[in-house]
Chains A and B, each alone.
Chain A
Amino acid sequence: MTAAGYARALDLITRVRGVRGAMLVAGDDGLVIAEQLMEGIKGAALAALAASLGHKLRRAMEGAGVGAGQFWHLQAEQGALLVVPADSGVLVVAVADPDVNVGLVRLELLRAAGSVG
Chain B
Amino acid sequence: MTARAVEPWTLGPLQNFVKEAAARLVLLLTPAGQVLAQSGFAHAVDVMAAAALSAAINASTAELAKQLRQSPFAALNHQGQGHGIFLGGLKTGRGPLLLLAVYDLDVSSLGLVQLFFEQFTTEIQAASPKEAVQKQVLAADFERELSESLDALFGR
Binding site for B on A (CB under 8 A): 25-26, 28-31, 44-45, 47-49, 51-52, 55
Q: Identify the interface centre among B106, B111, B115: most chain A CB within 10 Å of its CB.
A: B111
Bound complex: CA of A49 vs CA of B22, how far in Å?
Answer: 12
Q: On chain B, which size bracket covers the interface?
A: 10 to 19
**Interchain Cβ contacts within 8 Å, total number:** 37
Is B109 a contact of A45 with CB atoms below 8 Å? no
Q: Which residues of A are found within 8 Å of B79, using beta-carbon distances? A: 29
14 pairs, CB–CB < 8 Å, chain A vs chain B: A25-B111, A28-B105, A29-B110, A30-B109, A44-B115, A45-B115, A48-B111, A48-B115, A49-B112, A51-B109, A51-B111, A52-B108, A52-B109, A52-B111
**Distance from B64 Cβ to chain A, minimum over Cβ atoms (Å):** 23
CB-nearest residue of chain B to A31: B111
Is B114 a contact of A52 with CB atoms below 8 Å? no
Q: Which residues of A are found within 8 Å of B115, using beta-carbon distances? A: 30, 44-45, 48-49
